[in-house]
Structures are given as C-alpha cells and as structure tokens.
Structure 1
Amino acid sequence: MKRLPAAAIVLIAIVLLLIVSWRLDRAPSTDDAYVYADTINVVPEVSGRITELPVRDNQAVKKGDLLLQIDPRPYQAALDQARARLVALNQQIVLTQRTVDAQRYNADSARAAVERARAVANQAADTLHRTEPLLAQGYVSAEEVDRARTAQRSAQAELSAAALQAQQASAAVSGVDALVAQRAEVEAQIAIAELNLEFTVVRAPFDGRVVSLRTTVGQFASALTPVFTLIDTRHWYVIANFRETELKNVHAGSPSMVYLMSDTAKRFTGVVDSISYGVLPDDGGVVHEGLASVQRTINWVHVSQRFPVKIAVRNPDPVLFRLGTSAVAILKRGDAVAPTR
C-alpha cells in the first residue's frame, strides 16, 4: 500500500512531462529574442554647415518632416552662376548665328558670281569659235580675232578668280555646333546645381524616431557621413533564436505571440516573416587555406544550433517597443497567415 502513492506520483509526473512536451512541440517558445526595426543613417548628400536642426534625440517624426538643413548659400550661388553662364552662352549663340548667316549669304553671292563668270566665259569661247573660221575666208580681220581671243582668256581668268573666291567664302562659313555642345554641358551643370541645392534639405522618408543625435546647429556636416539614425517605426519585428529541432512545420506566415520583458502582462500577435538560412557555427567548419578546420573534440551532449526567426508584430505598442528590447516569442503551428507590411 505504501508503494501505491509513489507509483501514482511517478505516473502523474510522466503524464505532466508528456503534456509539457506536447505543448512545447505544438507551441515552441524562447526568451532568446529581442525587438528589431529597420533603421537608416541620416546622411546629407552635400557638405556644409548645419543651419537648422529642428529635431532632438529620441523624438518621433512624421514622413516629410524637416530633419536638418545645410547652408544653401554656396549651392544657390553655384546655381545662379550656371544659369547666368547659360544666358550669356545663349546670347553668344545668337550673335554667332548672325555671323554664320552673313557668311552663308556671302558664300551664296560668291557662287552666283561664279555662275555669271562662267556664262561670260562660255559666251567669249563661243564668239572665238565663230570668229576664227571667218579669218581664213576674209570676213574678219586678224585684229578682231585677237580681241576675241583676249576676251576669251580674260573671261576664263575671271571665272577662275570667281571660283577661288567662292571656295574661300564657303570655307569661311563657320557654325554654332561647338557652342550648342557647350550649352548642353551648362544645362547639365544647372541640373546638378539644382539637385545639390535640393539636397541641402533633408526630410524624413517615413514615420520614425530619431536616435543617436550627437550634434547641433553650427556643426559642419560632411557628405556621406551620418549625422544620426532614424528608426522605421512603421514596422516592428521580434528576432527570436529558436533551436533547429523546434522549427519543424514552422514557415513564413506561421502565427505567433510575443511579449516584452519590459511589460510581461501585454501580449502581441504576429506572424513569422522569415527564417534565417544561415548562421556561423561555433565549433569548426571554418575554411583555412582551402580546407575545413574542424576541432578534434568529443561532444558527449550535442547542442542544437539556433536559427533567427523574424516575426512581424501586428499590433505593436509604440510606447513599449524599443529597438533591442528583450522579448519572449511563442510559435503556433497552424494555418499560415499572410505577413502584412
């Protein structure tokens, strides 16, 4: 009779162990988790002194809010200079075009003079050809034939001179192609100057929260150097490291529940966004000079590898959720739910 209570206790313990194992298998959980959100470095794309900084550290901002202003005066001056250069170049193109038109008119006139000289030369040649046969017949004198020959030579010389002048006039015709190419270059400089002027104003690309702000108005900001960080508070996640043995039948869309260590009374629903496909092992597997380096140790107890599971939280509390907050995640094996963004 004394053994009966002991057997009952053992049976109850086995039943409880089976229930706990079943629950853990149906809903694995881990406290190796933390809150995560996407972040960006707020980086000015142009250098200059900060003239406005209307935000403070840990402040919440809305999309489109002014984050900082770089002194725009140097960039405005560069834009004005480029625009003035374009105006001057356009005027130069107009004046040059007038000169080119005059050169073309001169070339056309020279070509017309060539045609006139050619007509005179043809007429003189025809006269000579008609006059020369008449000399033998006595109808014209030798003097008249000489005058015809002289007229023909003179007309031919004038034709050659007119043709040379026409070539010179055609060669003197210039163009505005080089100036037009310069105008395209100046227009590109204007576009760059306008873009740089626009870059002096940095606005929030999304709803977020300013963190790691360690500067103020008057500081010189260098291009591509972060000024502070902006947390994307539109979407919050919990990164939970689960054992590989617990990830069976868990996939993107699996429902989950999380709570934060800062307030364990509040529960938040979520869905699995993704499961990591790679972690760096601690014991071996490191490639050294083309060969894998494996430690020669005997592990009597094999420790399961953990893989990060990214859980998208559906109803985050903007007051409680902070980047890096400790959390507990519980996965529920069931029908998949489409992750929302």
Structure 2
Amino acid sequence: MTDDARAARHMKKLPAAAIVLIAIGLLVVVLWRLDHAPSTDDAYVYADTISVVPEVSGRIIELPARDNQAVKQGDLLLRIDPRPYQAALDQARARLDTLNNQIVLTQRSVHAQQYNADSVQAAVERARAVANQAADTLRRTEPLLAQGYVSAEEVDRARTAQRSAQAELNAAMREAQQASAAVSGVDALVAQRAEVRAQIAIAELNLEFTEVRAPFDGRVVSLRTTVGQFASALKPVFTLIDTRHWYVVANFRETELKGVHAGTPSTVYLMSDTARRFTGVVDSVGYGVLPDDGGVVEQGLPSVQRTINWVHVSQRFPVKIAVRNPDPELFRIGTSAVATLNRGDAATSRR
C-alpha cells in the first residue's frame, strides 16, 4: 500500500473518531447536567386558596365580585342584607338605655332608703341615751329608799321610766334593722348592663360581618351564585386564590433529591408559554408519600404482595418551589410546568 493510500485511509478515520469523541463529550455533559441540575416535567402550578364564607346568614343583596376576577385586599366581595342585624343592634342599644334609666331611678330609691335607715339609726341612738339615763337614775334612786331620802313611789316612777326607755330602745332597734334590710342595691342591674353591652358588641360584630371583603390580593374562582341567593353562615360561596405567592410543585425522583433543601435555586417554565423562564427557590421538600405497592396491615400483620419487579421504579417526592417573578396573567393553579433544580448553584453560593 502506498503512502498516499495510507494517508487517505487515515483521513477517513478522523471524522468517525471525532464523532465518537463528540458523542462521549455530549454524554458527559448530559450526565453532569442530570447530576447537578435534575429536571422534571411532572410538575404543576400551585397557590394557596381560601373558601370565602360569610359568618352570618342572610340574603345576598350585593355581589361586586365576578368569576375569575382579580381583586385587591379590602375590596368588597359580597354584602348580606344588614337590616335584621341593624335591628338587633338597635334593640340591644334600646335595652341599654332603658336599663341605664332604671339604674338611675333605682339609685334614687336606694338613696332614700339609706337616708331613712340613717334617720332610724339616729333615733336608736337617742333612745339608747334615754334608756341609759333612766337606768342611771334608777341605780341612784334605789339605795336612797332604805335611808328614807326618797319615797317608794319615786322609786317606782324611776323603774317605770327605765322600763319604758328600754322598750323604746328595743323598738327603735327593730325599726333600724327593718330600715337597713329595706336598703336595696343596683348590683343586679349593673350586672345586667354588662350583659347588654356584650350583646351590643356581638350585634355590632354581626352587622360588620354582613360585608365580606378580600383579606388579600387574589382572584375569584368557582363563583356559582348571584344576588338574591340566601347565604348560610360558614358555608362557602366561592374560592379566592392567593395571587401574592405562586409555587410550582415538582415531583422529583428520590435519587435526584441529594443536596436539595429549602433555598436551593431552581428554574421553571410553564407549558402554556415555554419561551419564558421563571426563577425560584425550593420552599420545602416532601417527607411522605403513599407508595403504590405499600404493605397493608391486616389483623396486626403487614400484607406484602408477592410480586417480582424486574425494573425498580424510583419513588417521587414533591418539591415545592416558590416562584420569585410570577406573571399573574400566566400562572394558573394546575398549569403543567417543567422544573429544574440548580444544585450546583446552591453549592457554589454556600461556598
């Protein structure tokens, strides 16, 4: 074989070798990419939601919210007929006014009773003074009878005066007890006033509850009613999506979760617009799923299926990714998404 032929043959082998080297290089890049930036299309968009429920029952008289409408925090979502609750509030306030007037009148009566008791007590003190004086007179007079300085008649008069004064004292004391017992109070009425004030507070709160306002910026969904519908307390009327925070829940294989933790950077895009990329960070990693072939406990013993899996499928765990720059017009709950975890970036940032 000539040198030219050998050279020509060698030149023909170079493209094949180059292709093999390029393929090996691409394989290395792909493997490195899969190891440092795992990706999955088993993902969907998620946001927190609340059920909008009125806290009082009544007929809906105003419903500014519309299905799929964006609302701001504090916007009126629905209004329930406030007339029954306004009437209950007016009634409670009227009861309080009546009770206050009754307390004033009762207090006047109590003052009069107290004045009478004080007057009777003063009469008791006067009767006690008279009784003491009569007793002293009797004690001084009785020894003089034996000496002949006083007559028996004078002693009898002193004794009669002492008995009369003591009887008057006893009567005055009984009257004082009656007058003191007759003095009433307003404690019971004051306690009723506290109860009525509590009823007023509840009525004011119920009246406030007739207006349901948005607790945060969101979007109304699943609205299937209109003005005139009777709304029952604690029963949902529609759903409100919290559009302040959007997430992508991506189900990654357990073999791809090494080094993944809260704060790991990620990139996501939605199937509805594959040209746009959104950055985010891992919010949390799921710590439990229900395996498809998990054992079932029956009669105290686990039941394990006797099957042979020639190919073992890795379990997937949900990774919740908080999107940093969501487009509120593009993100919808349940939208299919693709998520990529940038574990290499996370390691670099930690260093």
The equivalent of 2:146 in structure 1 is: 136
Post-superposition offset of 1:10: 5.8
Residues 43 and 226 in structure 1, CA contact (< 8 A), matched pair in contact too: yes
Match of 1:228 among 200, 216, 238: 238
TM-score by length of 2: 0.92
Note closer, same or farther for the CA distance 1:167–1:145 as it changes in structure 2 (3 Å cut). Answer: same
Q: Alignment partner of 1:258: what SS?
A: strand
Distance 1:17 1:335 in 2: 21
Partner in structure 2 of residue 273 of structure 1: 283
Residue 69 of structure 2 is aligned to residue 59 of structure 1? yes
Query: Aligned partners of 2:342 and 2:149: how far apart in 1?
Result: 130
* Residue type at the aligned position of 2:316: R
Superposed CA offset, 1:119-167 (max 9, x none): 1001001111111111111111111111110000000111111111111
Kept in 2, the 8 Å contact 1:255–1:334? The answer is no
Q: What CA RMSD, in Å, does the superposition of the two structures yield over aligned residues?
A: 1.9
Unaligned runs of 5+ in 2: 1-8
Counterpart of 1:148 in structure 2: which amino acid? A
**Corresponding residue for 1:85?**
95
Q: Which residue of 1 aligns with 2:179?
A: 169
Shift of 1:296: 2.0
Structure 1 distance, partners of 2:216, 2:101, is 45
CA distances 1:291-341 after superposition (whole Å, capped 9, x unpaired): 43322222221111111111111111111111110000011014549xxxx
**1:255-284: per-residue Cα shift (whole Å, max 9, x none)?**
111110011111111111111111111112
Alignment match of 1:325 (pick from 335, 346, 349): 335
What do residues 95-128 of structure 1 show as CA deviations (whole Å, max 9, x unaligned)? 1111111111111112111111111001001111
Native 8 Å contact 2:37 2:344 kept in 1: no
The yes-or-no answer on 1:72 pairing with 2:82 is yes
| 8 Å contact from structure 2 (residues 59, 80) kept in 1 | yes
How far off is 1:16 after superposition?
3.0
Tell me what 1:151 maps to: 161
Are residue 214 (structure 1) and residue 219 (structure 2) matched? no
Cα distance in 1 for partners of 2:127, 2:301 equals: 92
Give the 5 Å matches for 1:281-300: 281-300=291-310
Larger radius of gyration: 2
Report SS of the residue matched to 1:310. Answer: strand
Residue type of the alignment partner of 1:56: R
Q: Residue 319 of structure 2 corresponds to which residue in structure 1?
A: 309
Aligned residues: 337
What letter matches 2:213 in structure 1? R
Aligned pairs (5 A) from 1:183-262 = 183-262=193-272
Deviation string, structure 1 residues 48-84 (Cα, Å, up to 9, x no partner): 0000001110011111111000000000000000000
Answer whether contact 1:284 1:292 (CA < 8 A) is retained: no
More helix per residue? 2
Match for residue 37 of structure 1 among 35, 47, 53: 47
Task: Give aligned-pair identity as a percent.
Answer: 87
Instruction: Structure 1: give runs of 5+ residues left out of the alignment.
Output: none
